[in-house]
Amino acid sequence: NLEYNLLGSSAQFKRSTEILREFIAFKPEQAFSVKVLGDVPNQNIHGEPQPEMVIVTHPNFLSQANELAQLHLENSGLQTLVLTNQQVYNEFSSGNADVAAIRNMMRMFYNRAISEVEMPRYLLLFGDGSYNNKSSKSSNTNFVLTYQSENSSHTVNSFVSDDFFGLLDENEGEATGLLDLGIGRIPSSTVAEANLAVKKIRQYLDPSSQGGWHNQISFIGDDGDGNLHMNQSDQLARFVEENYPKYNIEKIYFDAYPMVTTSQGARYPDVTNAINNRANQGTLIMNYIGHANARWLAHEKVLMINDIQSWRNFDRLPLFVTATCEFSRFDDFSYKSAGEHSLFSSQGGSIGLVSTSRVVYANPNFALNRNFFQYVFAERDDYVEGETDKYYRLGDVLRLAKIATGSSINKRNFLLLGDPALRLHYPEVDLAVSEMNGKPITVELDTIKALQKIEIKGVVNGARFADDFFGEAEITLFDKVKNITTLSNRGGTPFEYKTRENTIYKGRSSVVDGVFSSTFIIPKDIMYSYGRGRFSLFASSGIFSGSGYFEDFIVGGITENIGSDVEGPSIEVYLNDKKFVSGGITDSNPKLLVHLSDSSGINTTGVGIGHDLTATITGPMEMNYVLNDYYVSEVDSYQGGKVEYQLSDLETGSYKLSVKAWDVYNNSSETGIEFTVKADTEFSLSHVLNYPNPFTESTGFYFEHNQPFEDFDVSIQVFSPSGKLVKTIEYLFPGTGSYRVGPIYWDGLDDFGDRIGRGVYFYKLKVRLSNGKTAQSYQKLVILK
């Protein structure tokens, strides 16, 4: 306070001004008063040791953030510091919610590192964000603040970017600079979503998720803009084929499929089916180039939110890469984007997305997409032989791709929705074919011909694993490369590309002491022209996994020594599990299970006209499915196997389903079942019965229901003919995905342990779901003495 003289409306005072000073005049009675809001717990982020990863989370998700940090510590030794956003604000922005506080904290760790080992590497923002950081409305999802561009109203030049938190050098900020951190965001707005995100990561890291789908990369190309997007997709596919040939490439290019004109516009239903089928089968990376918005892919709506929600691939989660507009606009709290639905789908979806939050341009999209594939399969620059982390984590892949892409603002709209410290499934060991039909592969091999019996042997390479690798191998034989010319659905020039789309055989073999073998008969239906085939190999020991391929052999022609087989395959058809009986009920997304056996093996090549393994559904909806790619042989046998195929979006009503299969000699069989689809919102029971009935000593109760993933209580009350309650049976069942329950055994004793007399009794079976819905049925049983 300075002493002053008040002269009218002027105040006079003296103060030396050897330095620049600022003076403020105010009336004390009009000054704001200080309010005590509460205590601030002691904290000292500045005193924390250098972390490898920092998780900044909203307090609602602190438990899940700590669980994820512990998971990474146990899985790879990653040292993680977990902080709430308020803790960061307390120490770096005087307690005020300020987006710069998070960046300033990361810059502190960055600046004080004295070596590369001490550098922070990853930042995970655990909580949804909003374009409105200031709104306090309950509907606003600003759990962890976002950085919005200064120009926030321009359709193209605006951006929301978590890159801001990783631009840590001097004179860097907003859209300027090179990323120093791998950054990701889990945009959870509820505890349930946070739990699900961590559950997915735990499942992804679990060895039970290992499978041949790790060898699969899928490229999806839109048909617009003069074949631009198909051409760009094919460039990426060829890059992977040439540089990382272990991977099997699937190409889903719109114009290769028939376009259907509807009252709502052009549609590609077969493209939708191909995408959904691939998601359910599993693919390591699903890459899309083309048009989109926050609710669907492409003008033809080839992938919508309901499609994503129908995926049942929880143990086969892909990384979804979308070089397209705003598919993952996470910061608009008025709706949830398709990308977010993919991340938080409870039955599957994706493990993460490299996706966009705003409108973007095609050519810079492709530049970043191309650079992504430059790094996603590349070995780390600082990798030392013998280390386990040979490949980059997701945060590193996107960071390096952005650095390589230049200074375009376009790249700031790409973000990682997911865990930046997650590493994709990469093989730890190499597999190789060592012999074919008794000949080592180092000599000239005989041509593989139709109806020829083949035996191949393979080995696990590498001194660490060669003799102590025990597990299971997946062996896939592909036919020759085909030249495809698209249909030119929109006029103009068709697009031409090459692909391997015909599978000759897919089987499984035991791996013992690092050695595996497989015997099978080549189907009659192959392309008889001569060309190079391909063996794709995958193996898992439950701890380690490996992959490999072999192409130095010729496929074509037909053998002269043809065996004899005139009987078709044996077929068993179920829905969801083997407890299903024909006439049962299901929800709108049942899984089709087909068990097949034949002395010669099953034909799944897809070459012979009318010789596909198919399923046909008739009823309220009529559909045909080709199941060739879904057949997998039994372990160590080519004479039996199964199909698992996810049906989706069936309308309510009664259906008939028939399956037709061919053996390798082109003998066919067909069988079918009937089923009823009940609305998912309607809880219902069917096929309530007890067996045996009548009975003397004991019986079992059975029923079907249409809510397979809900936990439920079962109560069975048995009444005498006069209505007296004589027995109550109660059980708690977890939601295992099965639609059929039973047997629930009863020994014929009443609640006091006495034997019930002969006669006709009635029982009420009541089921109560965890969400409170109930359904019940009354039936009768007969006891004989």
At 208, which amino acid appears? S
Q: DSSP string covering 241-255, please?
A: HHH-TTSEEEEEEGG
Over residues 179-211, the pLDDT tens digits come to 999 999 999 999 999 999 999 999 999 988 899
According to CATH, the topology of domain 45-166 is Rossmann fold (3.40.50)
Q: What are the DSSP E strand ranges found in 580-666?
A: 584-586, 591-597, 614-618, 623-626, 631-633, 640-646, 653-662
Task: For residue 316, give the nearest of 371, 365, 277, 288 by alpha carbon.
Answer: 277
What pTM, to 2 d.p., does this model score?
A: 0.84
**How many residues are present in the chain?**
785
Q: Please tell me the predicted confidence (pLDDT) of residue 464.
A: 59
If one counts every other C-beta atom within 10 angstroms of the C-beta of residue 260, the result is 13
Over residues 336-349, the pLDDT tens digits come to 999 999 999 999 99
Strand, coil or helix: 236 = helix
Strand order in the sheet with 554-558: 448-450, 554-558, 531-532
Domain boundaries, the chain: 45-166, 211-417, 429-558, 570-677, 685-783
The answer to whether the Cα torsion of 286, 338, 358, 495 is positive or negative is positive
If one counts every other C-beta atom within 10 angstroms of the C-beta of residue 621, the result is 12
d(CA 721, CA 757): 11
Q: What is the DSSP-derived secondary structure letter of residue 9?
A: T
Q: 570-677 — its CATH code?
A: 2.60.40.1220
Q: Are 713 and 735 in contact (CB under 8 A)?
A: no
Asked whether this chain's domains 211-417 and 429-558 adopt the same fold, the reply is no
Cβ neighbours of residue 41 under 8 Å, at least 6 residues apart? none
Strands 285-289 and 296-297: unpaired
Task: For residue 406, give the nearest of 368, 377, 373, 369 by alpha carbon.
Answer: 368
Q: What percent of the chain has pLDDT over 70?
A: 99
What residue spans of 665-768 are helical by DSSP H? none
CATH architecture for the domain at 429-558: Sandwich (2.60)
Query: Which stretches of the chain score pLDDT less than 50?
Result: 463
If you classify domain 211-417 with CATH, what class do you get? alpha beta
Q: Are 534 and 478 in contact (CB under 8 A)?
A: yes
Q: Are 67 and 96 in contact (CB under 8 A)?
A: no
What residue spans of 149-255 are helical by DSSP H? 191-205, 224-243
Q: Are 283 and 318 in contact (CB under 8 A)?
A: yes
CATH architecture for the domain at 685-783: Sandwich (2.60)
